[in-house]
Amino acid sequence: MRFVPVKTVEQQDIQALHRQRQLLVHQSTAIVNHIRGILSERGIAIAQSPAALHRAIPEVLASDNVELTQFCRGLVVEMLEHLRSVEERIAEADQKIRAFMRSSPLCKKISAIDDVGAVTATAIVAAVGDASKFKNGRHLAAWLGLVPRQHSSGDKYRMSGISKRGDKYLRTLLIHGARSVLRYAAGKVDAQSKWLRELVARRGYNRAAVALANKNARVTQSLLSSDREYVRPGAV
């Protein structure tokens, strides 16, 4: 088993903030799905994203759809107000996260990695802290569940999908960040973008995203356990 040091009060505070933000995001998603469900029962289809819902609602409420009664419109408006309140609280949490990042040298250091923003950087520093407790980057990647699951017997070695052990929240942040990098890799000529395009061609989009998340977890361990600064692949 891999143990990390006892967290400082500051680390505990930022983790509490992340848990609160995660709860608010879940609430936001649930409200959006609830509104979409009410409208879909009346033949009104809206895309899944909150932005799509906000764009569509004014036109929906102004329509003369006979199935959308005044009572139902009132329910939708109430839920929409609740959604806006939750979104404001998420924005407030994001401001606090950015403030914490500005005051943390470690967060600033790892935020230089392409797919590591304020949310991911602060979550990693709060959860990991002194990464020198991990023997190497692969140990941190394994702790996050970003390495292949093994099924071995005797001299037979079988590898399957990632283990998905450890902190699901951190793993999700790293993979989502990797997906955003992959999205823009097609139009770039740097070494990492070329490697990613080749990896997508060989192994597929999802595996490429996990591979990049694994790589960045290893880079993060190196940065948090030493005085090194991040050097972008291909930089002189």
Higher pLDDT, 188 or 1: 188
Q: What residue ranges do the domains of the chain occupy?
A: 1-103, 114-230
Reported pTM: 0.83
Per-residue pLDDT at 164: 72
Band of residue 236 on the pLDDT scale cut at 50, 70, 90: very low
Tell me the mean pLDDT in the region 139-157.
74
How does DSSP assign 98-165, residue by residue? HHHHHT-HHHHHHTTSTT--HHHHHHHHHHHS-GGGSSSHHHHHHHTT-SEEEEEETTEEEEEEE---
Distance of CA 187 to the CA centre of its chain: 23
Is residue 41's pLDDT more than 80?
yes
Per-residue pLDDT at 234: 58
Query: Distance (Å, rounded) from C-alpha 120 to C-alpha 138?
Result: 19
